[in-house]
Each structure stands twice: as structure tokens, then as C-alpha cells.
Structure 1
Amino acid sequence: MKATRRTGLTRAASCALMAGALVALSGAAYAADPLVKACAKNGEFVIGFSQANNAEPYRQHVNDELTAAAKAAPQFTLQIADGAGNVNTQTSQVDNFITQKVDLLLISPFEASPLTPAVQRAIKAGIPVIELDRKTVGDPGKDYTAFIGGDNYKIALEAGKYTADKLLPDGGQVAVLEGLPSSTPAVERLNGFKDGVKGNSKIEVVAEQAADWLPDKAQTAFAAMLQAHPDIKMVYASNDMMAAGARLAAKGAGKEGQIKIIGTDGLPGPAGGIRAVAEGEWAATFTYPTGAKEAIEMAKSILLDCATEVPPNVTVATTAITPDNAKSLMGN
């Protein structure tokens, strides 16, 4: 009886082991499935890009770099749709891409919450979604495939530290021009800068206002700030366009050159922040990398290399543009 009992236990254990092995193999096979079924080295693929607003210089800079990166991959056809700063327009364009059955969707959502359902529909349709620069609601790797962009909070934190340590070591009044409050970069940049200047207890943030990334709104807002707080010594603008508007407001108040200005984006070209710093109009700007090259590389991994997974978050580093390096970077 003892021998029989041992034999029964051995068979049960064997069955359990076999079942476990089958489950493990099944799980391994599932995990090894590529992110898209129709992937191939020599395939031809359409990538749809839903851009938040082509009218913004930074957005056009993204488009240019994305187009250049896509041209280096002959298997890719890139289609760019201009959301025109309107969530309804952008939602319709994303739905059009889904109807067209694009192979991969890139999106820079104009606003986070309103574009979330459209992204969810794309994922449900089996289309990988890479969010570029801005996020919808949810977690990368779970609610959408991946996020690629700079660390907005960290970029603004560096701007705040630069202000506290270099620009206003003796303290003073500071103002902040925030981007569109319903977009994730605006919130992150506002919080990052305010945390950065906390390292200097003599600095006081006396005014903050949203100007929606627009230079005319920034000019109006900063002009009002200067009237209410004539002792402002420095303004942090959450993008280069608003920094340009702040400079016009300072000039209008007869304070050009007296108020230190920091932008964000570090755009090239005659209207960009790099030139403004190089020519002494601003104290600094911090580059916000487009992530275009990284996005196309991830698309290659998914569509050409049949990747089973990709990094859910890819952070692209920033560069501080100051009087020390601005001139050398103007041609880049």
C-alpha cells in the first residue's frame, strides 16, 4: 500500500508539473507575440501623425524633424494631420487614421482628457500608439504603447534652479507665464519652475498666469503683471513664443534689458530662443527635444523588427541655452 501510495503521488506530481509547463509555455508564447501582426523588414507601412497645432513654431519644428527621420526609412509613409489647436478636429483626424487602418499612430494631443477616448479606440483597433511630447490620460505601456518626450518637470526645475543660483542669487520678485492649463506640459513646467526657485528663499513668485502658449496673450498678461508688480526682476515663460511676448511687454513698459527672461523650447532659426539668448534679449532658454528620431526608431522596432515590447517611457535630454553656448549652437 505504501508503494502504491508513493506511485499515486508521483503521478499527481508529474501531472502538475506537466500542466505547469504547458501554462508556462503558453505564457511564453503569448509574451513573444509581436506588437503588430503585420510586421516585416521589407514591408510598406503608413504612419499617421496627429499633430496638436501646426501653427506653433515648435510643432512645425517637430514636423520637420519627424519628416526627415521618416525619409530615412523607405518602408515608411508619414501622413501628418494638423489638429489646428482644436480637440474636435484632432479627434476626427485620429478617427480617420483608424478608418484608414494606418499601421502605427503618433499623436501629440492638444489636450489630455478630450483626446483620451480617441487613443483608446486606436489601441482597441490594434494600432500601436506612440504619444509624442504630450500625454493623454492613462499609463504608457498599458493604456497606449509608449510616450516619448522630454521631462517637462525636470526641464522647468532646471530653469528654476538656474534662476535661483545664477540670475537672482540675491533674490527678487519673479513671474511665470504658463501654457495651456489643460495640457500636461503646462502643468509640469509650472510646478517644476516653482519647485526649482524654492532653493533660494529670497525669491518670491508674485504672479503666474496662463497665456496658452501664445505670444500675444503672453504680452498682454505680462504687461498687466508689470503694472501690478513693478518690481518684477525676472519672468519664466513656458515656451519660447511666450518669452517673445514677455519681451515686447517689458519693452512697452520701458524695462527692456532690466527684466531677465527665460524661455523653453530652445528653437533654432531667426525667431527662435537660441538666437534670442545669443543676442542678449533673453537670459536663457531650455531645449525641449522633439523626440522625432526616437519615435521613428521605435516605429522601426515595432513594424520592421516585430518587437514584442518597447520601453513605455523614453525621456530625451534637455540642453540649457545660456550666453555661454548660445552662439555656438545657432548653426545647429
Structure 2
Amino acid sequence: MKFTASLAGALALGLATGPALAQQEMTSQTRDAYLAAVEGKRVVYIPMSMTTDLVLTWHAFLKRQADELGYTLDVRDPNWSAEAGARALTQAIGEQPDLIVLQNPDIQAYARLIQRATKAGIKVVQLNMESLTQSDAYVGADWVGIGRRAGEAVAERCSGGNGPSNKVAVVSGVPTAPVDLFQLKGFRDALAEAGSDVEIVSEQAAGYDPSKARAITASVLQQHEDLCAVFGVWDGQDSGIGAAVKEAGVADQVFVVTSGGGASTSCERVEDGSFDMFIEYDARMQGQALNTLVSAFLQDDAPAGEKKLVYYSPNFVVTPETLTPSSCFTVGAGE
């Protein structure tokens, strides 16, 4: 009986004091400290060009977080020019931002400037295409892994008498770019490990230009009518490969494999038969991982160059058999 009375009293006291506590101003020390650490900071974003699905998706993520958290995002667009990018990076280093997010056009172009930025105390996140010079972080595709997956598929289809021949063409972008160098390493490693008799009959660079990729592929098909497969390094360029194969009337013969960030146009090309295999590294996942690193670095007082972090986005294989409405996304539609 005494216990019942005590419990009733405690409940009554809670009901009486509850509204008073609710009326008091509540604060989150964790949230306040987080916002204070990033507000007013400055990030400079230097992609290769503000014209691709990948770059626009990353920018959408960066801008949304910058607007939400109150730091500045400055975009410097080199428009595919390594020289213009080097000038933009040099200028950014002189301005002393808190962080630079950088997409390298090749493995050498910005190597010394990245070192200079680190010595100047500026943290650098390399995005999807890395330099020989390691910086505070890399966020992007696992190019070696993508190349290996493509090589495994080509070896299975074109070796041992499985295809129309053992002949394969490679259409690269820029031979000194990390997307090319590391993908081709993985591709060749996979062919060697499979013990395949695949013969690479053509390896030419299209400079990320779909019209050049189309012309290269058309020429190779004329020289090798029994071509088994074409391996391309980037879907934006490789739409030209698919177009050339379809124009030659050999879409059922030639296996086209490429990779990209998951924009809806690539899934459409899987659906219409232009691509037989699309290896997706999902630019949205990269954008979210990038934002996590940006906010962490803006909060962290550790010196530039002290940490070396890496995030490889997972790869998803999209084929006509695995294609679903959610396999890709529309750029700008709610990133």
C-alpha cells in the first residue's frame, strides 16, 4: 500500500515538473560544436569539367552540404584543360582555403602542386582520379577492380573458342590518366590470370570524346570483322563505341563493356543494346562519402598531410539480365 502511494506521488511529481522542463531552452552541445567548427570555412572544388554527369552529381552533394552547414564552396572549372586546372590550383593555394577537392586529369599534372598545398597547410581530397602524389584522402572508383571485372567477363566470352574470335579492342581515354592506367592494369591482370588466349588487336585513345571513340571502333570493325569485344574506360566516351557497333550491325556479336557513375543514360544504353555490361561505381555514394570527409576535415585541427584516407565506392554490374528501374539515377533528381 505504501509502495502504491509512493509510485502515485512520483508520477504526480513527474507530471507537474514535465511541462516546466519542456519549456526550458534545450541545446545540443554536440550539434553546436559541429556547426561552429565548419561554419565560415572555405572549400575550393576543381573538377576536370563541369559538364559531365559525374562532376555535376558530386557538385550537387557538395553544394547542398555547404549550404546546410554554412561554409563556402568555390568552383573553378578548367573545362578539360590541365593547364587551366594547374592555374586554378596554384591560385587556390595562394588563397589559403581550408580544403581543396581536386579531380586529376592525369597522374602527373598536379603532383607537385598537391605537395605545395600540403606544405602550405591546406588539406586536399582527390576525387575519382588520383595523382601519383598521395594527399589527405582519395574518394572514388576502384579502377583496378573495375578493370579486373571487365577482363574476367571478356576472357569468359572471347577465349577458348567461346566467341566469334579471340580478338578484343581497347578504347582508352587519356593514356596517362589514372582511370586508364589502373583499369588497363586490372584488365590485363584478369586476362593473364584466366590463362586466356585473348588477343588485344587494337588499343587507341579517344580523349574522352564519343565521336572519336565511334570512329576508332568503326575502323577496328572494318579491319577485324570477327571482333569479339570492345573494352572502354568511361561510359560518357563509350556511347560512341556502342553506336559504331550497332551501325555495323554486329551488336549480337561484339561484347561492349564499360563503366561509369550510374547516370540514367548508361542504363538506357544497356536497355537498347549499346552496352552489354556496365560496371557502375555510383556517383551518389561517392558524393555522400566525399561530404563525410569534407565535414570531418573541416572539423579536424590535425595538420595537412598527417592522414592518408581512402574510400573506394563499391562496384555494381548492370547487364540486360540484371537491369532494374533503380539500377541508375537521373542527374539532378534529388541527389
* Equivalent position to 2:218, from 217, 223, 242: 223
Question: Conserved in 1, the CA contact under 8 Å of 2:256 and 2:277?
Answer: yes
Residue of structure 1 equivalent to 2:141:
150
- Tell me the SS of whatever aligns to 1:327: coil
Q: How does 1:121-200 map to 2 (within 5 A)?
A: 121-138=116-133, 140=134, 144-165=135-156, 170-171=162-163, 172-198=166-192, 199=194
State the one-letter code of the partner of 2:184. L
Scaled by the length of structure 2, what TM-score is found?
A: 0.78
Q: In structure 2, the residue corresponding to 1:109 is in which secondary structure?
A: coil
Note closer, same or farther for the CA distance 1:161–1:69 as it changes in structure 2 (3 Å cut).
Answer: farther
User: What SS does structure 2 have at the residue aligned with 1:44?
Assistant: coil
Q: 2:79 matched to which residue of 1?
A: 84
1:1-332 aligned within 5 A: 41=37, 43-71=39-67, 73-138=68-133, 140=134, 144-165=135-156, 170-171=162-163, 172-198=166-192, 199=194, 201-269=196-264, 272-290=265-283, 291-306=286-301, 310-330=307-327, 332=329
Q: CA deviation at 1:195?
A: 2.2
Shift of 1:75: 3.0
Q: What residue ranges of structure 2 are gaps of 5+ in the alignment? A: 1-34, 330-335
Structure 1's consecutive aligned runs of 4 or more residues displaced over 4 angstroms after TM superposition are 166-169, 307-311
Q: Is the 8 A contact 1:69 1:292 kept in 2?
A: no
Q: Counterparts of 1:206 and 1:127 in 2: how far apart (Å)?
A: 45
Q: Does the 8 Å CA contact 2:243/2:274 hold for their aligned counterparts?
A: no
User: What per-residue deviation string (whole Å, max 9, x for no partner) do you get for residues 173-224 of structure 1?
Assistant: 2111112112111111122122223315243222211112210111111111
Structure 1 stretches lacking a partner, 5+ long: 1-38
Contact 1:43–1:304 (Cα < 8 Å) also in 2 = no
TM-score relative to the length of structure 1: 0.78
How far apart in 2 are the matches of 1:162 and 1:266? 19
Q: How far apart, CA to CA, are the structure 2 residues paired with 1:236 and 1:42?
A: 43
**How far apart, CA to CA, are the structure 1 residues paired with 2:237 and 2:36?**
44
Distance, in Å, in 2 between the alignment partners of 1:42 and 1:195 is 43
Cα distance change on mapping 1:319 and 1:168 into 2, 3 Å: farther
Asked if structure 2 preserves the Cα contact closer than 8 Å seen for 1:69 and 1:293, the reply is no
Aligned length: 287
Task: Report the CA distance between 1:89 and its aligned residue.
Answer: 0.5
Question: Is the alpha carbon distance of 1:69 and 1:97 closer, same or farther for their aligned partners in structure 2, counting shifts above 3 Å?
Answer: same
SS of the residue corresponding to residue 94 of structure 1 reads helix
* Amino acid in structure 2 at the alignment position of 1:52: M
Deviates more, 1:298-307 or 1:82-91: 298-307
Quote the residue 2:26 is aligned against.
none
